[in-house]
Structure formats: structure tokens, C-alpha cells
């Protein structure tokens, strides 16, 4: 009985990690939408983030929504898309070019775990948003295995998380986030950088890396 309770606690923890990975991925994969803005302006999200020292409330309510969305879209483009920004790609950070070996290896890793990138996708597989969403997927699988009391599968999914974090995220993301905090003009993306870095540092410690 005690083991079942412990497995359930671990399953809930893994599910929580998956949810946060998913939330973080949405900050990077594309510009902030009206729907996503409504989600992160909710009292539940604001209070949760305040609890870990991230103050989104201060920057999300100072402008009318339409103006804020336009401002954040311009900031997103300046940071992540136009020349002179800081492209959120592992290949760019490690190889100075898009779609290099890191991109090929991340796609191979996704396939090994049963995921295929949709044909026509214009985002390379080593985009930060995709790497974070992949970690959300792995954490969710670990959670499901724990709920099913499948210890072997849970360990396998946990090892995959450690492997991917060690060989991909850990090699480039922290330097990228330092640059994001340094070069972001709008405080929203500075808070995004702080939130992402704080969570990933906790993950790195939890994975014993």
C-alpha cells in the first residue's frame, strides 16, 4: 500500500513537471496569442509563478490587451526571428548555423521515442520550444507509468529525460537564457528567461547532472 502511495506521489510530481515544461514551450514556439495571454493572466497561474519569485502580473496588466499583444509580437520577432537576434536553436548556439547536427540528432531522439515531426513543419527539431515540449512528453509518459505501477517503464522514461537533458538542453540552453535576460527589452521576456532558467536548474539538479 505504501509503495502505491509513493508511486502516486511521484506520478503527480512527474505530471507537474510535464505541465511546466509544456507551459514553458509555449513561450518560445511562437509569439504570444490572445488565448495564451488569457491563460497566463489567470489568478491561478499568476499566483503559482509569484510563489517561485516570477512576477508576470506586473507586466501583463500595464497595457491594454491589444497593445500588449502587439508589443510582445514585436519583441518576439526582434529576439527570435530577425537577423541580429538570438535564435532559439541548438544548432545556432553550438554550430553557428541552422539545421546542423544537433537538429538531426534531436529528430532521431524524437523518433526513437515514437514521435514524428509533421511533414511541412517549418520549425527545426532543435528549437527550444520543441525540446521543452519533448521533455513534457517524456515526463508525462513517466507519470503514466508510475500511475500504472510499471516501475520498469517509469525508470526507462526517466533515463530518457536524463539522456536528452544532458546531451541537448544542458549543452546550450543556459547560455541562451543568459543572453535572453541580457538582451530582452520588454520585462515579460526577462521574466520568461528567469522562469525557464530557474526551473531547468532545478531539473538539472534533480537529474543529478
Residue 101 CB partners (closer than 8 Å, separation 6+): 91, 95
Phi, psi of 198 (to 5 degrees): -60, -45
C-alpha cell at 96: 553557428
What is the C-alpha separation between 103 and 109, in angstroms, rounded?
A: 10
Can you give the pLDDT at residue 6? 59
What is the C-alpha separation between 163 and 159, in angstroms, rounded?
A: 6
Taking alpha carbons only, the member of 32, 195, 30, 36 closest to residue 127 is 30
Can you give the pLDDT at residue 1? 47
What is the C-alpha separation between 14 and 23, in angstroms, rounded?
A: 14
What is the DSSP-derived secondary structure letter of residue 30?
Answer: S
What is the C-alpha separation between 192 and 37, in angstroms, rounded?
A: 13
Can you give the pLDDT at residue 7? 67
Q: What is the pTM of this model?
A: 0.95
pLDDT along the chain (209 residues), means of 10: 63 95 96 95 86 81 92 97 95 97 97 92 95 98 95 96 98 98 95 95 95
Amino acid at each position: 500500500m505504501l509503495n502505491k502511495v509513493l508511486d502516486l506521489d511521484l506520478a503527480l510530481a512527474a505530471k507537474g513537471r510535464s505541465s511546466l515544461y509544456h507551459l514553458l514551450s509555449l513561450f518560445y514556439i511562437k509569439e504570444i496569442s490572445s488565448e495564451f495571454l488569457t491563460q497566463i493572466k489567470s489568478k491561478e497561474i499568476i499566483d503559482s509563478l509569484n510563489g517561485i519569485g516570477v512576477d508576470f502580473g506586473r507586466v501583463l496588466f500595464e497595457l491594454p490587451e491589444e497593445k500588449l499583444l502587439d508589443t510582445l509580437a514585436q519583441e518576439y520577432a526582434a529576439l527570435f526571428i530577425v537577423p541580429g537576434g538570438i535564435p532559439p536553436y541548438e544548432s545556432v548556439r553550438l554550430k553557428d548555423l541552422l539545421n546542423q547536427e544537433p537538429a538531426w540528432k534531436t529528430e532521431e531522439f524524437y523518433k526513437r521515442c515514437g514521435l514524428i515531426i509533421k511533414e511541412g513543419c517549418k520549425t527545426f527539431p532543435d528549437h527550444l520550444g520543441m525540446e521543452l515540449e519533448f521533455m513534457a512528453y517524456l515526463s508525462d509518459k513517466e507519470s503514466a507509468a508510475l500511475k500504472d505501477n510499471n516501475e520498469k517503464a517509469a525508470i526507462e522514461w526517466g533515463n530518457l529525460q536524463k539522456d536528452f537533458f544532458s546531451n541537448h538542453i544542458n549543452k546550450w540552453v543556459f547560455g541562451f537564457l543568459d543572453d535572453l535576460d541580457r538582451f530582452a527589452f520588454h520585462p515579460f521576456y526577462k521574466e520568461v528567461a528567469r522562469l525557464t532558467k530557474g526551473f531547468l536548474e532545478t531539473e538539472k539538479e534533480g537529474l543529478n547532472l
